[in-house]
Structure formats: structure tokens, C-alpha cells
Amino acid sequence: MAKRRKDLPNPIQGSVRWPRQFDNPAAVERSQSLVDSPAWAEMEAEWADQEADLLSRLRHDRSHVHDDFYRGQLATLEMMLGFRKDLADWKADHR
């Protein structure tokens, strides 16, 4: 059974959005190593292209059949595209 957010350790001291990534110094360093990788920048570019495509589909596809699906994908892409900033903000707040 999946853990509920309230069951995760230190939800107030850590991050609500990224509880496992920011829960201890070693995890934060691994996260920093991840965003410092050239592959992460390539993934961000890929996600940005996918985001633009989905936004275009939402604006121009008048069938509305996939709107909820597209919005769900957009939310995930926005979260991943914001990870680098979230990490930087979290590190600045927890010095």
C-alpha cells in the first residue's frame, strides 16, 4: 500500500513536493548532482518541447476528448521543469 504524505518522515522540515529528494543532506547532494548532469538539461529541453506541444493541443484541439489527460501531463511536466528551481530555493532556505 502506498504511503500517504502524512506518513512520510518530517513533512514539515522537508519538502512537501519533493519529500524524498530533500529529506537529508545526502539526498539533497544526489539531487544537485542530478540537475548538474548534462543529461538533465537535455531532459528539461525535451520536457519543454512536450509542454509546448500539449499546450498547443489544448488550445487548438476542439474535441476536448483528451483535455483532462493533457492537463495531467502538463502538471507533471511543470513539476519536473520546476525541480531545478525548487532545489535551489530549498537549499537557499535551509542554509
- On whether residue 82 sits in a domain, the answer given is yes
**pLDDT value of residue 2:** 53
Task: Judge whether residue 26 has pLDDT over 90.
Answer: yes
Contacts of 9 (CB under 8 A, 6+ apart): 19, 23
Backbone torsions φ then ψ of 51, nearest 5 degrees: -60, -45
Q: Total structural domains in the chain?
A: 1
- On whether residue 66 sits in a domain, the answer given is yes
- On whether residue 68 sits in a domain, the answer given is yes
Domain containing residue 75:
24-93
- On whether residue 88 sits in a domain, the answer given is yes
- On whether residue 77 sits in a domain, the answer given is yes
- On whether residue 7 sits in a domain, the answer given is no
Rounded to two decimals, what is the model's pTM?
A: 0.76
- Which pLDDT tens digit goes with each residue over 36-88? 999 999 999 999 999 999 999 888 877 777 788 889 999 999 999 999 999 99
CB neighbours (10 Å) of residue 28?
19
CB neighbours (10 Å) of residue 77?
21
d(CA 90, CA 20): 13
Q: Where are the alpha helices (DSSP H) in 37-82?
A: 38-60, 67-81
- On whether residue 16 sits in a domain, the answer given is no
- Which pLDDT tens digit goes with each residue over 6-23? 555 544 466 788 888 998
Task: Judge whether residue 4 has pLDDT over 90.
Answer: no
Instruction: Select the more confidently predicted residue: 81 or 94.
Output: 81
